[in-house]
Amino acid sequence: MPVPDWLRTAFAVVVYWTAIAVGGSVLLADPTSPLAAVPVLGGGAVAAHAARTDRLVELGYAVGTMWLAVLALSVGAGVVDFAAAPDGEIAPLADLPGVAAAGTVGLFAVLVGAYAAFARRSARRDASERD
């Protein structure tokens, strides 16, 4: 039984939106913080734009790029905390409000920048194929 296109699109949007919301708010110590609106609402807007413009593949690459940034940030913070605290105590960076805010907005900026870059690259490729 074939799955309708609208259902596949809706499922992809929900999966990407969830990945954006979780990844973008990973630095927030309090999940009910008003700052959680940045990845949740912003991720919804980006996912809706990708669905309307048929750029879900590009959004998937952008979400992967954002998660690579989450990984790099986590590893980098762990290395810095380990080097700064040689006795082995790792202080949670998410408890610092400035770091959490900058990290949350920065991760969303990585997502939007990567989405724009992948969409631009795809549009150039589509234009060169038509010529």
pLDDT single digits (tens) 36-46: 999 999 999 99
Q: What is the pLDDT of residues 44-99, one digit of tens each?
A: 999 999 999 999 999 999 999 999 999 998 888 777 777 776 665 655 666 667 87
Q: What global pTM score does this model have?
A: 0.86
Confidence band (pLDDT; 50, 70, 90) for 129?
confident
DSSP letter for each residue of the chain: -PPPHHHHHHHHHHHHHHHHHHHHTTT-SSTTSGGGHHHHHHHHHHHHHHHHTT-HHHHHHHHHHHHHHHHHHHHHHHHHHHHH-TTS----GGGSHHHHHHHHHHHHHHHHHHHHHHHHHHHHHHHHHH-
